[in-house]
Amino acid sequence: MIKTKLSNFLSYLIKQLGNVLYYSLGELTAGLISLLLGFFISTGLSTIPGQTGDWGIIAASLIVAATEFISKLVYSSKFQLSVRINLINNFKVGIIYGLFVDAFKLGS
């Protein structure tokens, strides 16, 4: 096959597309794991103290306060994290989503 500018461009484009898809798939996997981990933790933390019926609201408010404190640490200019912010955000979204699911379970 003769190497033309078009064939060089297409081979470069395919190589770059493969690299982007490879790294995107890894980030997607890590994001889903952190989302599901947040969901699991919020479900566990809001269910275990809620067995007596008295501590469910307090446990949920402590979980929300902890996520807000983590947000304050992550987004402050003084505190720099080496961990990706997307993973932390996915974890927090999982926590909030777990609390909503528990609230819908209790409401029905």
pLDDT tens for each residue of 71-84: 787 777 665 665 57
Q: Is 1 helix (H, G, I), strand (E, B) or coil?
A: coil
Q: 46 is in which domain, residue-wise?
A: 34-107
Confidence of residue 37 (pLDDT cuts 50, 70, 90): very high
Burial 2-36 (b: 16+ CB within 10 A, else e): eeeeeeeeeeeeeeeeeeeeeeeeeeeeebeebbe
**pLDDT computed for residue 36 by the predictor:** 92
Residue 1 falls inside a structural domain: no
Cβ count within 10 A of residue 102 = 19
Residue 7 falls inside a structural domain: no
pTM value is 0.63
Q: Give the chain's domain count.
A: 1
Residue 25 falls inside a structural domain: no
Residue 59 falls inside a structural domain: yes
Nearest to 84 by CA among 46, 40, 28, 16: 28
